[in-house]
Amino acid sequence: MTKTCPNCNNNIPEADHICSFCNYNYKAAEIIATKPKDPEYTIEKRNVFRCPFCSKPISEYHEKCPFCASDLIIHDFVTTDIGRLQSKLIQQQTISCPHCNENVPGGRKRCPKCNKLIEAGEQTEKRAMDDFESLRVLIDQPDDDLAKTDEEAAEDEQKPDIDIATRIDDVESLEHHEAFFPPACIEPGLSELDTSVQTRIQALSPEEAPKAILSLLDEDVCYYLIAGSNLFLGRQTDVCHVPAILFPEQANRKRNTNVSRKHCQIFIRNNRVFVKDLSRNGTFIFKEPIPQNQDVPLANNDEIRISHVLRLKVQIFTDGKQVLGVLLHRKRNTTGERYILAAGAIPYGNNSALPINLSDGPALCGSLYYNPELNSWCLKIPDSSKPSTTTDQVLEPVQELIHGTNILWFSAVV
């Protein structure tokens, strides 16, 4: 027996909770669907305009078009701004009927007053389409061409604290530099794994790296965990662990072509994090390009720029002895998606120093890790009765985790 995935329309087994094609989570969708909706945000109380990508009528509070899934807040363009731009373009398209001098909206071939053919109708329609395309271009143009806040302009000009050449030439001298191996975010005993398990995690090949998704339902944040010490970023999502492209793909297809199929690689070696450029259009640390096919050390809070298309903030987390994981946080586009290279147990809790920070619950709720010996994802839970000790729990392929008012939905990607 099969069922059709409502997200990608592919047929999957009836018993599956997660679509093997698009990772659509049925149980998470059920929880979201049953959450009470705020009556204040009803479409009747909001202005209605047409989506600039599919032209379907939507209300101004939408962040994504419910018809074509286009992101309506790309580059900080809120929907009300798009509606205002569209209204302005429509006003500019108005022409005068040559027969009765009635003002006629652009694109009309006949005058609505005298019903006579407007000779310039075809040209007007073409101009209207050109103006509509200009709206697409306005939304889809590079960051440098958009009006920026002072903070964004300062970010654009930011340079690495330690330049790229020094990082490459003096790797050994930087071994004990705090930027490349930050202080512990957790006590070593609370995240320490058996030596055999730790060794096998680090030996996982990137092609077979187990993956999992941890969704924070109340905060609209989703963490993608990739077990191992190696991951790839790029445009080819069936090969790369991190889709280094702008969403929605349809609206950003031209810019996304600047990203290579396998654009760059991030890996952990000898307790240091490195990035290697594999692309034709370049990978940058802040505004400095890195040499192609060279291992460049990454520092905590670096910003990786993928061919002037996507920006990712890098955060490195350790337990004081080894690197536990590397967090990649998308900036200015689909910021709710974050990616973690899980080389060890990844702690989470109500603590801003942790890779996964919750808004409620204990300072440390637990640590997620993949156990190759059990072929399962596990949760290391601190024992409240015995300080610095933990118990390990094997997680189900799909499992709900509740900590205080936070509801987390864990799902292993098969």
9-68 pLDDT, tens digit each = 788 888 887 877 767 777 767 765 665 544 443 333 445 666 766 667 766 555 667 666
Please tell me whether residues 132 and 227 are part of one structural domain: no
Domain that holds residue 135: 94-140
pLDDT tens digits for range 304-357? 999 889 999 999 999 999 999 999 999 988 888 999 999 999 999 999 999 999
Please tell me whether residues 227 and 309 are part of one structural domain: yes
Task: Give the whole-angstrom CA distance, residue 398 versus residue 192.
Answer: 25
**Does residue 76 lie within any of the structural domains?**
no
Task: Give the whole-angstrom CA distance, residue 264 versus residue 213.
Answer: 22
Choosing from 82, 111, 140, the residue where a domain stops is: 140
Side-chain-facing half-sphere of 88: CA atoms under 13 Å: 8
Please tell me whether residues 215 and 304 are part of one structural domain: yes
Please tell me whether residues 136 and 169 are part of one structural domain: no
Please tell me whether residues 248 and 343 are part of one structural domain: yes
Please tell me whether residues 127 and 160 are part of one structural domain: no
Q: What is the mean pLDDT of the chain?
A: 80
β-strand 303-306 against 2-4: which pairing, if any? Answer: unpaired
Lowest mean pLDDT among 67-76, 166-175, 254-263, 394-403: 67-76
At residue 216, the 3 state secondary structure works out as strand
Percent of the residues in the chain that have a pLDDT greater than 70, as a whole number? 73
β-strand 264-269 against 230-234: which pairing, if any? Answer: antiparallel
**Does residue 59 lie within any of the structural domains?**
no
| CATH code for the domain in which residue 184 is found | 2.60.200.20
β-strand 242-243 against 230-234: which pairing, if any? Answer: parallel
Please tell me whether residues 203 and 129 are part of one structural domain: no
**Does residue 399 lie within any of the structural domains?**
yes
Choosing from 82, 109, 140, the residue where a domain stops is: 140
Please tell me whether residues 160 and 114 are part of one structural domain: no
* Better pLDDT: 330 or 74: 330
**Does residue 63 lie within any of the structural domains?**
no
Please tell me whether residues 309 and 248 are part of one structural domain: yes
Q: Residue 298's closest CA among 196, 182, 208? A: 182
Burial (CB count within 10 angstroms: exposed 0-12, middle 13-18, buried 19+), residue 330: buried
Q: What is the mean pLDDT of residues 375-397?
A: 89
**Does residue 61 lie within any of the structural domains?**
no
Please tell me whether residues 195 and 323 are part of one structural domain: yes
User: What was the pLDDT predicted at 31?
Assistant: 61
Q: How many domains does the chain have?
A: 3
Q: Is the peptide bond before 6 cis (omega within 30 degrees of 0)?
A: no
Place of tokens 């007053």: 113
User: What was the pLDDT predicted at 14?
Assistant: 85
Please tell me whether residues 13 and 101 are part of one structural domain: no
**Does residue 378 lie within any of the structural domains?**
yes
Specify the pTM.
Answer: 0.66
127 and 118 in contact (C-beta within 8 Å)? no
**Does residue 49 lie within any of the structural domains?**
no
Please tell me whether residues 246 and 350 are part of one structural domain: yes
pLDDT > 90? residue 181: yes
pLDDT tens digits for range 261-285? 999 999 999 999 999 999 989 999 9
| Sign (positive or negative) of CA dihedral 180, 183, 184, 188 | positive
User: What was the pLDDT predicted at 55?
Assistant: 67
- Under DSSP, the state recorded for 61 is T
* Greatest mean pLDDT among 23-37, 93-107, 175-189: 175-189
